[in-house]
Amino acid sequence: MSDAETLLQEVSSYLNAKDVEHIRQALEFSGSAHAGQLRQSGDPYISHPIAVARILTPLHLDAPAIMAALLHDVVEDTHISNKEVAKKFGNPVAVLVDGLSKLDKIEFETKEDAQAENFRKMLLAMARDVRVILIKLADRLHNMRTLESMAREKIERIARETLEIYAPIANRLGLHDIYQELQDLSFMHLYPTRYSVLSKAVKVARGNRREVVGKIQEAIHQRLQEHHVTAQVHGREKHLFSIYEKMQAKSLAFSQVQDIYGFRVLVENIPACYLALGALHGLYKPIPGKFKDYIAIPKANAYQALHTTLFGPYGTPIEVQIRTHEMHKIAEAGIASHWLYKTTQTPFNDLHKKTHQWLQSLLESLSQSGDSVEFLEHLKVDLFPDEVYVFTPKGKILALPRGATAVDFAYSVHTDIGNRCVAAKVNFELVPLRAELKNGDRVEIITATHANPNPAWLSYVVTSKARGQIRHFLKTMHFDESAQLGERLLNQALSSLGVNSQDIDKTHWDKLIKDTTAKSRVEILADIGLGRRLNMVVARQLARVGEGGAHELPSGGIITIQGTEGLAVQFAKCCRPIPGDPIIGIIKKGQGLVVHTHDCPTLRKGRGSTDEWLDVVWDKHISKPFDVSIKLIVANQRGVLAKVAAAIADAESNIENVHFTNEGDYTSLHFTLQVGNRQHLARVMRDLRGIPEVVRITRVKTAPT
């Protein structure tokens, strides 16, 4: 019997005759479209879509999904268009096929961009219809089974992508068998020698331990009968990649890995799970810390079971999973249980709800990512296999990736909670926001109305939602501040042309927006603030003046620096200006206005650059503190550091940072202080000079190393 006939026989076992006929038509259409095409192995190309469809039939996917599996490459690899697919087989099938088609017709700068953009499209389609990812996983599984004929470099790239993205997605959707096979195939292709050696070692161990495993299985079964627990007991073997991961993580030789075999106990209901657990803990002693209750607290993919590890005979650790038959169905098929067991009364609402929430969080990070590669980073973070379970003050359980912090927790509760958080309590004690959470922690977030996300949070948050929301807020804040700066720069330019900014009305702006293809007035102002547009050019366009002197500096008007402009105005680290220093501003493309001191050495080197120079002055009423660096040479005497610190505090200055280098009888002290202006700095330095041990003091205008 051919593969095509086998496929039709398999779908006829659970679909009606009309659906089977539609699948047969899709099979013939795909065969005709791919006629003459060969895979790199030399097999007819049609063998691939048939194999993909056959991987899906054990999951009992519906007719449109099987048809899309058969047609998933016709748009990409043949002359057939998606419109033709829609006309022939209906729009639902065409939508699935489109979600599976790559973006080969669009040119990308790098392979990483192309890969990331393909994932974006696939996940958007997946959010609309989860069958897209089920077909894609089947497609990837068959490709992994038939990788041998490809070039070594391509094999490694595909295998690594599978291990990092596709296998974790299968795990996240609860597709246990597909997940394990993708991992093992990736392992085989990435490390063929290690795979071969480990595979042979497991086969030998299987023979050596068969008798022991049989005795343990019989003992478990007998103990459960004694406690009147009706159960099925199955021995199971860890898959190769799982063994390899354990050897790598714990630096073990294969002979040191004891728990290659485990046991699965299937019972009738939840109370029986706990009865079975008690019975087995009476048979063999449990290993402390190795018990997990995934029934009370299910995994994010809706997996439920009791896990325990016991001291078996001969000192062998025994892993046991205890679950109901219904839990077993979800554990084996995950989200596909919807199709596989749709005739039963099994409630899959929680599974679908969690899957939908996960997809929505992916879409949220998709909409906020600045680029495709950033989104791919978010996706990889979201596929962390390990999770911690923590509690809100009201007792609700939240699952977070291992390593998640209080900030991650805040954003998982609600975006506003994350944006406004200022402190956190874990188990009723105040902890830093960067504190990592552990299983069972009770977490309470303290918020403040006027608080905003801190850019430093990006260095320790791990969830894509937290990272995406922080970046989104900072970009929006930067945009708003740049627009405010741009408006000040534009008003200065208009003033130098003798034009009153009040005379520029909506019609002027509408025409400018149309001529420049900008989206809005605010976008143009932000572009000016970020240095993407010259204020003088925009001023001339608005005033309907000729652009002959577009690159000339304004003849009048000075920008006032208030120190509160935020990200739109930056103070150069090469000279670290403070109020009172003579300053000059430069518009840097993409950075906004950068303020330097007049005597900045870096500034002198760049006099010939094309950046726009602006006259800037300090505002007379600045209350914001500024960082400044000073260096002291002091005699090595006891208590000198305390004297210096006390003098700085008495001069009403804060110490931000201090480090020192020993030079024999003398020590160089490097301080970063906060001062209000040059006069304040002069007062601090004067007080320090009054300390007998201070030999020399200087201001350092470069950032400390």
The CATH number assigned to the domain holding 455 equals 3.10.20.30
Q: Are residues 173 and 134 in the same domain?
A: yes
And the tokens for 197?
Answer: 């050696």
Domain contains 485: yes
Q: For tokens 């005597």, name the residue.
A: 599
Domain contains 283: yes
Q: Catalytic residue among 19, 77, 377, 436, which?
A: 77
pLDDT along the chain (705 residues), means of 10: 86 91 92 88 90 91 92 87 89 87 52 66 70 89 90 90 86 85 93 90 74 83 91 85 83 74 90 94 88 85 86 80 89 67 48 63 57 59 66 85 90 91 91 89 90 83 84 77 81 78 79 75 79 71 52 51 70 87 78 79 61 75 86 89 90 87 85 91 93 91 58
pLDDT, residue 566, reads 63
Q: What are phi and psi of 426, to 5 degrees?
A: -115, 120
3-state DSSP call for residue 663?
Answer: strand
Q: Are residues 589 and 635 in the same domain?
A: no
**Count of Cβ atoms closer than 10 Å to residue 193 Cβ:** 7
Contact 630, 651 (CB under 8 A): no
Q: Are residues 336 and 204 in the same domain?
A: yes
Which of 618, 643, 667 is the C-terminal boundary of a domain?
618
Residue 613 burial class via C-beta count within 10 angstroms: exposed 0-12, middle 13-18, buried 19 and up: middle
Chain centre to alpha carbon of residue 703 = 32
The CATH number assigned to the domain holding 289 equals 3.30.460.10
And the tokens for 172?
Answer: 């996240």
pLDDT, residue 662, reads 81
The CATH number assigned to the domain holding 681 equals 3.30.70.260
Which residue from 371, 189, 399 is spatially nearest to 300, judged by alpha carbons?
399
Active site residue 3: no
Residue 108 burial class via C-beta count within 10 angstroms: exposed 0-12, middle 13-18, buried 19 and up: middle
Q: Are residues 671 and 591 in the same domain?
A: no
Domain contains 345: no
Q: Are residues 378 and 505 in the same domain?
A: no
Domain contains 323: yes
Contact 400, 409 (CB under 8 A): yes
And the tokens for 525?
Answer: 């102002």
And the tokens for 284?
Answer: 């063999």
pLDDT, residue 528, reads 77
Q: Are residues 585 and 461 in the same domain?
A: no
Q: Are residues 178 and 228 in the same domain?
A: no
And the tokens for 659?
Answer: 């480090």
Contact 436, 405 (CB under 8 A): yes
d(CA 176, CA 440): 26
Q: Are residues 602 and 527 in the same domain?
A: yes
And the tokens for 31?
Answer: 């065969």
Which residue from 114, 356, 318 is spatially nearest to 216, judged by alpha carbons?
318
Which of 340, 371, 386 is the C-terminal boundary of a domain?
340
How do residues 96-154 score in pLDDT, each as one tens digit?
A: 888 777 544 444 455 666 666 666 666 676 667 778 888 989 999 999 999 888 888 89
Q: Are residues 464 and 481 in the same domain?
A: no
d(CA 131, CA 128): 9
Domain contains 152: yes
Q: Pseudo-torsion of CA 57, 60, 62, 65, nearest 10°?
A: -40
Domain contains 348: no
Q: For tokens 């905003």, name the residue.
A: 452
d(CA 184, CA 237): 13
Tally of domains within the chain: 5
Chain centre to alpha carbon of residue 278 = 40
Domain contains 347: no
Largest distance between two CA atoms of the chain:
100
Amino acid identity of residue 588, one-letter, is K
Contact 591, 526 (CB under 8 A): no
Q: Catalytic residue among 76, 164, 332, 523, which?
A: 76
Q: What are phi and psi of 410, to 5 degrees?
A: -60, -45
> Which structural domain, as residue segments, surrounds residue 696?
626-700
Between β-strands 397-401 and 306-311, what pairing exists: parallel, antiparallel or unpaired? unpaired
Which of 448, 471, 494 is the C-terminal boundary of a domain?
471
pLDDT, residue 555, reads 40
Active site residue 374: no
d(CA 70, CA 592): 53
Q: Torsion-angle region of residue 60: left (phi > 0), alpha (psi -120 to 50) or beta?
A: left
Using alpha carbons only, give the angle 664, 669, 672 rounded to the nearest 5 degrees: 165
For residues 346-359, one letter each, b for 16 or more C-beta atoms within 10 angstroms of the residue's C-beta and e for the rest, the string is bebeebeebbeebb
Q: Are residues 334 and 387 in the same domain?
A: no
d(CA 140, CA 142): 6
d(CA 123, CA 136): 11
The CATH number assigned to the domain holding 173 equals 1.10.3210.10
Q: Are residues 330 and 456 in the same domain?
A: no
Q: What are phi and psi of 622, to 5 degrees?
A: -110, 125
Q: Are residues 460 and 495 in the same domain?
A: no
Domain contains 315: yes
